[in-house]
Chain A
């Protein structure tokens, strides 16, 4: 696609965001001896092997027991450790919601809940593992910070940044190899939206894997003479409402794009911000109240309407409603 499209960001290779997590965790562990890792029998899937190898005394294999893992992490944090828990996003949230609510969020514990294989792009495993409700569940918890980075580099930067931040964090990433299009030396500021592309006709607020789709959509729109602004909302909570309102005040309409249900995700947060301050047309790219299914990641993004083509359509519709 980059051969025919003049995208403002490009990529030379692909890597999975979970590898960004694994490499970021290793760096964080080297920098801070209080960083500890816990994993529920998915060391390879979460890319935690390098951390385990270098810091065996600070790594804990929990077995297939996610509720216990959340409690262990809360307990370790009481003594000043900075625990990073690792399992699939489905088992990091829905399965252990009460444990996270009571022992981590309500108790204000410095635990980093690191969740891989989120969203439809998990692919062939199907709906049992493709959680599309996790951002909503986590953002509803008081005290919880919710982060959904877009590529390998940003996931690595985010992982290192949350080790330096005190408080409970949900960090969401994915399974497939994905374009690496953000710089290696980026600074990750929790809660600070990143305006990646300037535009005046419509704003595309995107998070996670769909930031790349938004970058592609911007190029497609530009070929048709539409100038879209692309803003990377890597932090769902706290939401950078200032950046959102400033952009929509200029463009007059927006699209939100996420690999998540409409309900409870980024779209809801942006809509609430706009309704309270400066109502404007908004279109939603996300899954419309359904579970996923087995398939290849890109086939699923297409079938469920989450790819660049659908962002283009939504952008035009949003502009037409101004």
Chain B
């Protein structure tokens, strides 16, 4: 796939945000907040960084692979997958509805191209990504494996099992990202269960850690993803601490946990769409 320019990436991001709020509004269910916050990351990854083939194969030999651990942000992933050619954009309107391949949380059961593992129960995705990265190493496959986790998800114990494992086994073809928005369902992460110094924790476990302070700035996200790739192959896995704003792009959703899993009503949808330019055409 041809790499998009920064301007094209920004246009795509605006359209993806329209898709997210429309999908969640249509079914009155789903998670818009962190989907909006992670839009730059997904768009930069799929349209600029990932070496991938929309003629989907489960094994993905020779390709870069992406695993989403915090599966509740499925709207942004589905939109990006559809708009990069894995399936018809029109299918986005089936999100979370009966007989759809677009399950509330990502699943392979219905054979949706682009999805390699189910996620939704938190804490499991990093382990899977590490396994996939090790399998690539066995095969001499130089594809890179990416994983995205939430920050609230860092409260799961399995994350730290995986964090300990990857450096021990020198899994250095892996870029894991934490969506560091500081919010979870019940409130700010600091209030629910303080994560304290995540950077120091991951470094202490033996990871190469980079901070991406402007996680909703397309130039910054692209350059951090490019930089992360330069750190591979040196005996350490890479962790990207991506500072984002939950709900970014829609003013009344920004920076609060209140839109973690709430759908906008008709009026709120119109307000949101008024703030997001239609750039590639709605489905």
Residues of A within 8 A of B (CB): 36, 57-58, 60, 62-63, 65, 67-81, 83, 98-99, 101-103, 106-109
Q: Which residues of A contact B128 (CB under 8 A)?
A: 71-72, 74-75, 78, 103
Residue of A nearest to B131 (CB): A75
Known: A71-B130, A78-B128. 8 other contacts (CB 8 A): A76-B131, A78-B65, A79-B60, A79-B132, A80-B59, A101-B121, A103-B124, A108-B109
Known: A57-B138, A78-B117, A79-B141. A71 touches B109 (CB 8 A): no
Docked complex Cα distance between A108 and B135 (Å): 18
Query: Are B109 and A106 in touch, CB under 8 angstroms?
Result: yes
Query: Are A75 and B133 in touch, CB under 8 angstroms?
Result: yes
B148 at the A/B interface (Cβ < 8 Å)?
A: no
Q: Which residues of A contact B139 (CB under 8 A)?
A: 79
Docked complex Cα distance between A72 and B124 (Å): 9
What are 15 pairs between A and B in contact, CB < 8 Å?
A67-B127, A67-B158, A68-B158, A68-B161, A74-B131, A75-B117, A76-B134, A79-B60, A79-B136, A81-B138, A101-B121, A103-B117, A103-B124, A103-B127, A109-B117
How far apart are B61's CB and chain A's nearest CB, in angstroms? 7
Contact of B165 among A36, A63, A70, A107 (CB under 8 A): A63
Docked complex Cα distance between A80 and B141 (Å): 12
B112 at the A/B interface (Cβ < 8 Å)?
A: no
Known: A70-B127, A109-B117. A79 touches B165 (CB 8 A): no
Number of A-B contacts (CB under 8 A): 120
How far apart are A98's CB and chain B's nearest CB, in angstroms? 5
Residue of B nearest to A73 (CB): B131
Closest 4 CB pairs of A and B: A75-B131, A71-B127, A79-B135, A65-B161
Interface centre among B60, B117, B139 (most CB of A within 10 A): B117
Residue of B nearest to A71 (CB): B127
Known: A75-B132, A79-B139. A107 touches B118 (CB 8 A): yes
Docked complex Cα distance between A58 and B169 (Å): 12
Query: Are A78 and B127 in touch, CB under 8 angstroms?
Result: no
Docked complex Cα distance between A86 and B63 (Å): 30
Classify the secondary structure of A's interface with B: helix
Contact of B117 among A63, A69, A80, A107 (CB under 8 A): A107
Query: Are A74 and B117 in touch, CB under 8 angstroms?
Result: yes
Q: Which residues of A contact B117 (CB under 8 A)?
A: 74-75, 78, 103, 107, 109
Docked complex Cα distance between A76 and B108 (Å): 16
B261 at the A/B interface (Cβ < 8 Å)?
A: no
Residue of A nearest to B139 (CB): A79
Docked complex Cα distance between A99 and B139 (Å): 25
Known: A78-B135, A79-B60, A81-B135. A67 touches B161 (CB 8 A): yes
Known: A62-B165, A67-B157. A75 touches B129 (CB 8 A): yes
Docked complex Cα distance between A319 and B12 (Å): 73
Docked complex Cα distance between A109 and B107 (Å): 12
B273 at the A/B interface (Cβ < 8 Å)?
A: no
B183 at the A/B interface (Cβ < 8 Å)?
A: no
Per the 8 Å Cβ criterion, residues 84-143 of B in contact with A are 107-109, 116-121, 123-136, 138-139, 141
Q: Which residues of B contact A99 (CB under 8 A)?
A: 124, 127, 158
Q: Which residues of B contact A69 (CB under 8 A)?
A: 127
Query: Are B131 and A98 in touch, CB under 8 angstroms?
Result: no
B269 at the A/B interface (Cβ < 8 Å)?
A: no
Q: Which residues of A contact B135 (CB under 8 A)?
A: 36, 75-81
Contact of B127 among A72, A79, A106 (CB under 8 A): A72
Contact of A72 among B59, B108, B130 (CB under 8 A): B130
Contact of B121 among A63, A72, A74, A98 (CB under 8 A): A98
B262 at the A/B interface (Cβ < 8 Å)?
A: no
Q: Which residues of A contact B158 (CB under 8 A)?
A: 65, 67-68, 71, 99
B200 at the A/B interface (Cβ < 8 Å)?
A: no
Contact of A58 among B123, B129, B138, B161 (CB under 8 A): B138
B178 at the A/B interface (Cβ < 8 Å)?
A: no
Docked complex Cα distance between A22 and B120 (Å): 34
Residue of A nearest to B121 (CB): A102
Could you mark each residue 191-227 of chain B with 1 if its beta carbon is under 8 Å from any beta carbon of chain A, else 0?
0000000000000000000000000000000000000
Query: Are A68 and B132 in touch, CB under 8 angstroms?
Result: no
B24 at the A/B interface (Cβ < 8 Å)?
A: no
How far apart are B127's CB and chain A's nearest CB, in angstroms? 2
Residue of B nearest to A74 (CB): B128
Query: Are A71 and B162 in touch, CB under 8 angstroms?
Result: yes
Q: Which residues of B contact A109 (CB under 8 A)?
A: 117
How far apart are B252's CB and chain A's nearest CB, in angstroms? 33
Q: Which residues of B contact A60 (CB under 8 A)?
A: 134, 169
Residue of A nearest to B106 (CB): A107
How far apart are B188's CB and chain A's nearest CB, in angstroms? 26
B82 at the A/B interface (Cβ < 8 Å)?
A: no
Q: Which residues of B contact A106 (CB under 8 A)?
A: 107-109, 118
Query: Are B131 and A71 in touch, CB under 8 angstroms?
Result: yes
Docked complex Cα distance between A60 and B168 (Å): 11
Residue of A nearest to B169 (CB): A60
How far apart are A83's CB and chain B's nearest CB, in angstroms? 8
Residue of B nearest to A143 (CB): B109
Q: Which residues of B contact A57 (CB under 8 A)?
A: 138
How far apart are B241's CB and chain A's nearest CB, in angstroms? 21
Query: Are B127 and A75 in touch, CB under 8 angstroms?
Result: yes
Q: Which residues of A contact B141 (CB under 8 A)?
A: 79
Q: Which residues of B contact A68 (CB under 8 A)?
A: 127, 130, 158, 161-162, 165
